Structures are given as C-alpha cells and as structure tokens.
Amino acid sequence: MTDLGVGQDIANAIYTDSQSVLAVARRPIFHARTKHIEVHYHYVMETLSVGEISFSYVPTQDNPAVLFTKALSREKFEAFRKPLSLIPFVD
C-alpha cells in the first residue's frame, strides 16, 4: 500500500478456508511438499513475517467468497449473494 501512496497502521487481513495455506504461510519450513513452490509465492510469507498482512481462518460455510470459487446449491448461492450486495440477473 505504501508503494501506492496509501499508508496504513494495521495489517491487511486475508481470510481463507484453507488450513494448509495457513500452515505453510505461518511455518515456512521447506520440505518435500513445498519445494516446488515458485519463488515469487514466497513474497506472501515475507509480508506475513513483517506484519503487512495477516491470515484468518473462515469456515467455508461462512465465507461469501466461495460464491466465486466453488459450485453451490441455489440456496447457498442466494445466501452468499446477499452479503456481497449482488442483485439477481433478470431479463
């Protein structure tokens, strides 16, 4: 944010439903499962370590972002659409 000329005092919060992402980001030990992660992805771990970002776990059933990433039933789609202020598409 500083590069964009916008200062802030707190870390940007990133909410995820992936326990493995949280584990790898919080404990950047390189082993067989992480050795093929490309170098530019390590930037996330660096920004986490200096406090520019923070990760928080959000269960899938409480995360409206799954609307854009997963196939959902109509009921769940409608439930996640409302908090994002998305209106229904009507002809």
pLDDT, tens digit (0-9, with 9 covering 90-100), for 52-70: 888 889 998 888 888 888 8
Q: Please, how many CA atoms are within 13 Å of residue 58, restricted to the half-sphere of its CB?
A: 14
Three-class SS of residue 80?
A: helix
CB–CB of 58/17 below 8 Å?
yes
31: confidence class by pLDDT, cuts 50, 70, 90: low
DSSP label at 9? S
Please, what is the average pLDDT of the chain?
Answer: 79
pLDDT for the residue 36: 61
**Mean predicted confidence (pLDDT) in 3-26:** 81
Which ranges in the chain belong to alpha helices (H)?
A: 19-26, 42-49, 74-81
